[in-house]
Structure 1
Amino acid sequence: MDATFWAFVSLVLFLALLVYLKIPGKIGSALDKRADTISKELDEARRLREEAQALLAEYQRKRREAEEEATAIVAEARLEAERLTTEANEALEEMIERRTKAAERKIEQAEGQAIAEVRARATDLAVAAAREILGKTVKGDLADGLLGKSIDEVKARLN
């Protein structure tokens, strides 16, 4: 008997010992446990992936809503700014109009006052001229009477 035969016999005994100790069953159950673990991990990974996709969809929806809200806020702010600008322009125009009218009234008053002063000065000059002319041409009580009458007439016409 040669060495090959004994090697073959040792191999057969070794394999028989493995079968007797139920090593192939243990290896199979270990592989089954590993396959179950891998299957559970894959299921967990799928579940986590679905949760992540749901969260992503939720955040994208919230982002879109926030963008829409921001757009609405910007549009509302623009409208408010335009309204305020319009109101400010109207208020400015009203103020300018009021001040223009006030200035026109002051000018009219100044014109009226100037006309009154000119009339008063003209009256004074006319009275002085009449007094001088009458004083040179007419003497005495007659001059004073004519002068008083003339002054009264001039004052009556001016008023």
Structure 2
Amino acid sequence: MADLVLLSAAAEGAEHAADPALFGVLNGTVWVSIAMAAFLAIVIWKGGIRAVTGMLDRQIADIRKQLDDAKQLRAEAEALRDEYTRKIADAEKNAAEMATQAEHEAEAVVAQARLDAAELVQRRARMAQDKIAAAERAAIAEVRARTADAAAKAAAALIAERHGKDADKALIDRTIAGLSRPH
């Protein structure tokens, strides 16, 4: 029977390590709880909650400002897009007018010289199509270049404003100063 008690005690000891306790009641869990309660009391007493909420309020204000800036940039980009859409529509209208004008010129040439009419009409039609294609390519290239330039400038401005080494250092310094300052 004594061997059975020793074996069961040994089996229990193998599964669970002994937890030292003071007076049989104050074990490690109780000491950690007391230390945590003391830490929280000191943080509340020293105004730590106000510092944290103040820091969070500043971050919320910064985020709101960034959102407002993003909305403004989006509105500017949409206005720029609308402007270039109008330019493309005007370019297409001009291309159609150029095609119409080329057709009228071709008809006048046909009336003047019936013998060379077929060759001249084909040559003028090719020239008009080339002009139209060149005008469309130029308009599209200009729209793309301006859009890319505007987007790059806006992105560079945002990145430079919000992600510079000095801005990050200043944010860290303010945060550290806010945490270490007694209230």
Scaled by the length of structure 2, the TM-score of the pair is 0.45
Following TM superposition, by how much is the alpha carbon of 1:11 offset from its aligned partner in structure 2, in angstroms?
Answer: 2.2
Amino acid at match of 1:73: M
Q: Distance in 2 between matches of 1:5 and 1:66?
A: 80
Distance 1:79 1:27 in 2: 77
User: 1:41-62, CA deviations, whole angstroms, 9 ceiling, x for partnerless residues?
Assistant: 1111111111111111111110
Long gaps (5+) in structure 1: 91-159
Match of residue 10 from structure 1: 35
Which of 90, 103, 126 pairs up with 1:65?
90
Q: Percent identity?
A: 33
Q: Matches of 2:94 and 2:110 in 1, distance apart?
A: 24
Instruction: Answer with 1 or 2: which has the greater Rg.
Output: 1
Superposition pairs of residues 144-159 of structure 1, within 5 angstroms = none
1:21 aligns with 2:21: no
Q: 1:88 aligns with which of 113, 129, 135?
A: 113
**2:62 pairs with 1:37:** yes
The gaps in structure 2 that reach 5 residues or longer are 1-22, 116-183
Query: So what's the TM-score if we normalise by structure 1?
Result: 0.51
Higher relative contact order (CA 8 A, sep 6+): 2
**1-side partners of 2:65 and 2:92: how far apart?**
40
Aligned alpha-carbon RMSD (Å): 2.0
Normalized per residue, the structure richer in helix is 1
Q: Residue 11 of structure 2 corresponds to which residue in structure 1?
A: none
Alignment partners' CA distance in 2, 1:84 and 1:8: 101
Counterparts of 2:46 and 2:109 in 1: how far apart (Å)?
93
